[in-house]
Amino acid sequence: MLCILLKIGKNQNVPFDFPFDFPMSPLISLFHVCLWTYTMTETWAWGRKDEELVDRSAWPWDSTSRRPSHADKRRAWRRELLGEEIRAALRPGATEAEIQAVAARLLSLAA
């Protein structure tokens, strides 16, 4: 089998056989996070029209009749969330601290 050296601490290598000795809890946790984000994106996009989910202006050669992919749905949700954040920052009467907090959130979303 594939033997991998896992670095633990300073200059300590711990060998283990990949499929057998690898700790499964991080993999299971990652699977759950991916599954939940996929499910939440599909749930958000469930009742929406295809036209509001798809923005193919950057790809003029792409067929507009094609159904939206999961990536299209994810991008549409991201556009909506960013739009809400921007509208919250631009509302009348926002203080400097609120604007700074929204700017920090937007930068963290963009990064």
Residue 4 to residues 9, 15, 18, 89: CA-CA distances in angstroms?
Answer: 16, 6, 6, 49
> Whole-structure pTM over 0.85, yes or no?
no
As a dihedral over the C-alpha atoms of residue 33, residue 39, residue 40, residue 45, rounded to 10 degrees, the angle is: 150
pLDDT in tens, 44-74: 999 998 888 887 777 777 766 778 888 889 9
Q: How confident is the model at residue 6 (pLDDT cuts 50, 70, 90)?
A: very low
Q: Which two tokens stand for residue 91?
A: 């509302």
Rounded CA separation 10/90 (Å)? 50
Q: 38 to each of 34, 48, 70, 71, 77, how far by Cα in Å?
A: 6, 16, 8, 10, 12
